[in-house]
Structure 1
Amino acid sequence: MNPTDRDAACFEAGIKFGALYHQFAGTPVSPESAASLETAIEESIENQPFCEDVRVEILTEKLDAEIDDASAGSYTELTGRFMEVEIAVEHEGVEVHTRMEMEDGYPLMKIESVEE
């Protein structure tokens, strides 16, 4: 059986999340640099084919708490627990809306909706 346009659109959304997470996890980030890093992530992922929209929110209050708990430094490494992400992909007339947020201590990436 050949993949449907719906299958391909969902696959493309997964590719975007894989690229986003593994490209930027570990990036040094502070509350002061969060906004510019959000923009860099969004613009980087939006360059990929079929990507319609990317929204990244780095949770600065969680960064503050992490940095306050650290023994040294004024930054921490970016991980899924410090981000909420939404990605929209359009492929062959199928639009997929996805989201990443923490669930049970894990940065879960999931499909919110598929519109044909």
Structure 2
Amino acid sequence: MAKKDPIRVCEEASRHVYLRAGARDPMPSTAETACFEAGIKFGSLYHQFAGTPVSPSSADSLATAMEDAIENQPHCESVEVDVLVDDLASELAESTADYAELTGRFIEVEMLVEYEGTRVRTRMEMEDDYPMMRLVSVED
């Protein structure tokens, strides 16, 4: 007799009890999982690269590195990072340094995640001085 995975047994038992009680299935839907995956990608993109030294001359290579790094993750179809070079140059014009630290103020990001046939489009851009990450669409 094959040994059963105890976690799988618990998940199946929990699902059975919830469904018998008329409750919603406790497991996330495919769309919810796809949205979760998009959030994971945004979290790693932002927190992995925040603070990276960036200048107008290194902006393109940094954007490419960010895109390539996140596209390596499961379920990530595409990432487009736009380093706002004009905003960066304005910041540097008021500084004695030749570079700035990367923050959400200097990037806009679009991402496409696909999980089991559900496609999630996301975007990050500044809103009220905050790098807002949001869902643009969820398509089954």
* Normalised-by-shorter TM-score class: over 0.9
Indicate the residue corresponding to 1:63 in structure 2.
Answer: 88
Q: Cα RMSD between the aligned structures?
A: 0.4
Deviation, 1:47, is 0.1
Is the partner of 1:110 in helix, strand or coil?
strand
The TM-score with structure 2 as length reference comes to: 0.81
Indicate the residue corresponding to 2:68 in structure 1.
Answer: 43
Q: How does 1:23-102 map to 2 (within 5 A)?
A: 23-70=48-95, 72-102=96-126
- For 1:46, the aligned partner's letter is E
Indicate the residue corresponding to 1:14 in structure 2.
Answer: 39
- In 1, distance between residues paired with 2:120 and 2:109? 14
Is the partner of 1:113 in helix, strand or coil?
strand
Deviation, 1:2, is 1.1
Is the partner of 1:111 in helix, strand or coil?
strand
Deviation, 1:74, is 0.7
- Deviations 1:10-60, CA, capped at 9 Å, x for gaps: 000000000000000000000000000000000000000000000000000
- In 2, distance between residues paired with 1:5 and 1:69? 48
Quick check: which has more Rg, 1 or 2? 2
Is the partner of 2:80 in helix, strand or coil?
strand
- In 2, distance between residues paired with 1:77 and 1:108? 18
- In structure 1, list runs of 5 or more residues that go unmatched: none
Is the partner of 1:38 in helix, strand or coil?
helix
How many residues end up aligned between the 2 structures?
115
- In 2, distance between residues paired with 1:69 and 1:105? 19
Deviation, 1:65, is 0.5
Which one has a larger percent strand, Structure 1 or Structure 2? 1
Is the partner of 1:95 in helix, strand or coil?
strand
Structure with larger RCO (C-alpha < 8 A, sep 6+)? 1
- In 1, distance between residues paired with 2:39 and 2:110? 12
Indicate the residue corresponding to 2:129 in structure 1.
Answer: 105
Identity of aligned residues (%): 61
